[in-house]
């Protein structure tokens, strides 16, 4: 059920419901993702030939969340056309789910005349999210409270053109042509129901372009994604609800690279709290070392500035739930005409969690209050979506699997959209 | 010398100057590129690990021309700032050449504080071109006649924002982060001399994302690049002048994908003259078969429409010089706000030849007159650049190599810019 309560949040999936719950958890975790259980996800992909690389579309959770970050992102926000009702949304979701499954599998969707464009999916994932209007139309009582939006922050400079929409498709692939084609196909397939509100195009390192296991860097030169969840338990605690659903927060963050690059390296490291070369905390030796915020230098000053980005982002000891999955993408566009900036660059910051209000917003608030990095970053877009559970190919659902268990929906959001509510 | 004459054009490098010319030709061809002699270039790259992939910067010709098309393009046009004279251009070229060499080699340029961003060049190439103003400043008599610009065409819908500039940097890499970083570094390094006029960002298939030897497809679904030069002789005849210089024509071509996709497959194939599935001419069986324009079907009609794109693009029998190298990149941007188009997409069409007037313009004119594909394409940008010969790392020039032979310039365009002309 989408309206996940904050109660029992910390219990995670495994502890939630005794034996039946535990059995279900195993099923969820076995089926939910493409990363072998226990292996780190969201690190650099491996060097297997890309022509053979595909991500399973169906599963207890949607692909594109735990999937290691692909090189390319087309994040497309859609608004429903006037007159589209709950029945229309159901038709759109049946259609989109079927076509996304085909594309991710290297099969040509029924409505497409271009089979040659889909032969090598290159780890294509297409992940769907619902904004508040879909719930308002189809199931008002089921809307999660946090879908009202991320609270306004003092430093926000949000632009309406990057705001909330009714639907979102997160399209990721390791081949930019595949990523463009999938966007085009999905937009065309849904054209009678929804039109594009905005499109955020981003990139990370190409498949195989950095050594396996390395954390990618953003355009500030920082390793980005060090503290992500990695184990099955992490994902069950932080990201996926028991029914396989999750949430996506999108923040578009402009980065003042021109200003940042005027800092020397020591200052950059102080601002972030980590070393630039290996991403280790200033108190540690390895990227994944736990930072020691109490450490002092020979003058008695904190080694890690309490207002450094890392220190502000860390969950306090009494709020271990303030963690989430990050899948950030860079953008790098031409400077505005007449501007003396060298570029219009930044981050499409994608955060996934069970409950944005409990997990994401407190971190954002701490950062907005005093993060030293704020001098070079400006949040210019914000949106939040409910991510439906994963799907099952028609005819393959387990006889014993109920819809409440997730992963059995015939199309995205069936549990919310069906049931005669609309 | 840049002012290549049209006389002797067809002779190519090999036949131009007897024994000395032939010896030089071997040197040129041995040193000029990264593709083993005789192997097809500009086809899909291989599947060697991308972390080890780099393209030699120095050579008789610039890298990024014969180099197989990388996945990402940042084509940046620059205009010189007011007051920059020939001496300023020389300083900029020394600086840019040195920094481009470092970046392509995975070394950090002297002025950069970000060594971590350049470790894996991912086949980075940075190729420089001169517009008319550089010649006007430094060597007016040396300007090639064709640098006056591509003649206006009846169907042109050129927009000033995609027009001619003083300089161009063609930055290509198989990693989008490297491609973005190299653009940023080069822009910053040259900021006192030149500022960005426009930036064209494009993509082709990711490294290893389609099987080796396949020709990539553009967003019309067509294979694009079938008739490119492939052998050393082809390149000596079509692309590289004896001194190692060449030229780049940039055409920005908007593609009406929405309209194109309303055609059935048979109509699309008639428009192009090739089969969609394998790119073979409608009279052939294989992509690389020569088309038979005289073939008739059972009704006596031409199998290949004389106004098909392929038939119009083919050089006539008495003008075999009308060939050139193509390195096209796709672009796929969000539709303009309020537009009902599904996307703002097209091609950044890059053509390389010794002499645009003799090789490129006649083909363009034939296409603009009657190519059936014109219904779905609109040329919205045009620019032309002289591409200086390749460079040699300081201290490595052969004692016997004169500047006239190319490949020995210490910096881009030294032969034109030095000599006290400015």
Residues 350-409, chain A, touching B (beta carbon < 8 A) = none
pLDDT, tens only, B190-222: 999 999 999 999 999 999 999 988 888 999 999
For A374-389, b/e burial (b = at least 16 CB within 10 A) is bebbbbbbbbbbbbbb
pLDDT at A329: 97
Average pLDDT over residues A311-318: 95
HSE of B335 in the Cβ direction (CA atoms, 13 Å)? Answer: 20
pLDDT at residue A343 is higher than 70:
yes
Residue A303: name the closest of A270, A340, A345, A349 by CA: A270
pLDDT at residue B42 is higher than 70:
no
Q: What is the mean pLDDT of chain B?
A: 87
Distance CA A284, CA A299 (A): 19
B224 catalytic residue (yes or no): yes
**Chain B residues touching residue A175 (CB < 8 angstroms):** 71, 205-206, 209
Q: Is B262 part of the contact surface with chain A (CB cutoff 8 Å)?
A: no
- What is residue A77's three-state secondary structure? strand
Distance CA B181, CA B108 (A): 12
Between chain A and chain B, how many beta carbons pairs sit less than 8 Å apart? 174
Q: What are phi and psi of A268, to 5 degrees?
A: -60, -40
- Evaluate whether B39 touches B144 at the Cβ level (below 8 Å): no
Average pLDDT over residues A371-383: 97
Distance CA A289, CA A282 (A): 10
pLDDT at A209: 94
- Evaluate whether B333 touches B343 at the Cβ level (below 8 Å): yes
pLDDT, tens only, B43-56: 444 557 899 899 99
User: How many Cβ atoms from other residues are within 10 Å of residue B192's Cβ?
Assistant: 13
Q: What are phi and psi of B197, to 5 degrees?
A: -95, -45
Compute and round to an integer the Cα radius of gyration of chain A.
21
Average pLDDT over residues B273-301: 94
HSE of A238 in the Cβ direction (CA atoms, 13 Å)? Answer: 24
- Evaluate whether B250 touches B383 at the Cβ level (below 8 Å): yes
Residue A182: name the closest of A19, A44, A55, A313 by CA: A55
Reported ipTM: the value is 0.88
Residues 6+ apart with CB under 8 A from A334: A343, A344, B196, B198, B199, B201
pLDDT at B274: 96
Helices and strands, counts by H and E, chain A: 11, 9
Residue B43: name the closest of B69, B62, B65, B73 by CA: B69
- Evaluate whether B129 touches B170 at the Cβ level (below 8 Å): yes
pLDDT, tens only, B314-331: 999 999 999 999 999 999
pLDDT at B32: 34
pLDDT, tens only, A125-141: 999 999 999 999 999 99
- What is residue B185's three-state secondary structure? helix
Report CB contact under 8 Å: B196, A334: yes
pLDDT at A226: 85
Task: Provide the pLDDT confidence category of residue A397 given band limits of 50, 70 and 90.
Answer: low
pLDDT at B349: 98
Q: Is B160 part of the contact surface with chain A (CB cutoff 8 Å)?
A: no
pLDDT, tens only, B355-412: 999 999 999 999 999 999 999 999 999 999 999 999 998 776 554 444 444 568 999 9
Percentage of residues in chain B with pLDDT exceeding 70? 85
pLDDT at A47: 58
Give the E-state strand segments of B24-71 in sequence order.
none
C-alpha triplet B370, B375, B381: angle, nearest 5°: 90
Give the E-state strand segments of B33-189 in sequence order.
72-80, 125-130, 167-173
Catalytic one among A166, A175, A224, A355?
A: A224
Percentage of residues in chain A with pLDDT exceeding 90? 77
Distance CA B97, CA A201 (A): 31
pLDDT, tens only, B73-115: 999 999 999 999 999 999 999 999 999 999 999 999 998 999 9
A398/A377: higher pLDDT? A377
pLDDT at B49: 85
Percentage of residues in chain B with pLDDT exceeding 90? 78
Report CB contact under 8 Å: A342, B47: no
Q: Is B277 part of the contact surface with chain A (CB cutoff 8 Å)?
A: yes
Average pLDDT over residues B143-150: 96
Q: Is B206 part of the contact surface with chain A (CB cutoff 8 Å)?
A: yes
């Amino acid at each position: 059920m989408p309206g996940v309560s904050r109660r029992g949040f910390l219990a995670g999936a495994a502890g939630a419901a005794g034996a039946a719950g535990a059995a279900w958890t195993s099923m969820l975790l076995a089926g939910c993702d493409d990363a072998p259980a226990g292996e780190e996800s969201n690190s650099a992909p491996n060097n297997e030939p890309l022509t053979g690389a595909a991500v399973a579309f169906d599963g207890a959770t949607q692909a594109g969340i735990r999937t290691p970050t692909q090189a390319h992102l087309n994040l497309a926000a859609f608004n429903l056309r006037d007159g589209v009702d709950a029945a229309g949304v159901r038709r759109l979701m049946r259609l989109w789910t079927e076509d996304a499954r085909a594309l991710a599998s290297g099969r040509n969707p029924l409505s497409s005349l271009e089979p040659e464009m889909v032969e090598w999916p290159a780890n294509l994932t297409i992940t769907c999210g619902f904004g508040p209007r879909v719930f308002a139309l189809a199931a008002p009582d089921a809307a999660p409270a946090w879908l009202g939006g991320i609270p306004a922050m003092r430093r926000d400079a949000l632009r309406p053109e990057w705001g909330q929409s009714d639907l979102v498709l997160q399209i990721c692939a390791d081949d930019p042509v595949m990523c463009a084609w999938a966007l085009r196909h999905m937009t065309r397939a849904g054209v009678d129901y929804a039109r594009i509100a905005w499109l955020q195009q981003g990139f990370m390192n190409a498949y195989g372009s950095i050594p396996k296991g390395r954390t990618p860097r953003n355009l500030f030169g920082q390793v980005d994604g060090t503290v992500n969840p990695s184990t099955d338990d992490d994902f069950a605690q932080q990201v996926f609800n028991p029914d396989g659903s999750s949430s996506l927060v999108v923040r578009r963050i402009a980065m003042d690279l021109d200003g940042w690059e005027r800092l020397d390296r020591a200052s950059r490291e102080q601002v972030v709290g980590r070393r630039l070369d290996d991403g280790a905390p200033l108190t540690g030796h390895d990227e994944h070392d736990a930072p020691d915020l109490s450490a002092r230098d020979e003058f008695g000053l904190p080694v890690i500035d309490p207002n450094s980005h890392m220190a502000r982002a860390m969950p306090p000891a009494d709020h271990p739930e303030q963690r989430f999955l990050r899948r950030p993408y860079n953008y790098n566009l031409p400077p505005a005409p007449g501007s003396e900036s060298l570029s219009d660059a930044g981050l499409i910051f994608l955060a996934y969690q069970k409950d944005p209000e409990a997990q994401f917003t407190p971190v954002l608030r701490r950062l907005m209050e005093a993060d030293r990095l704020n001098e070079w970053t400006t949040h210019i877009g914000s949106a939040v979506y409910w991510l439906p559970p994963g799907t099952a190919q028609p005819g393959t659902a387990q006889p014993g699997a109920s819809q409440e268990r997730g992963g059995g929906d015939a199309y995205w959001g069936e549990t919310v959209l069906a049931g005669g509510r609309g």
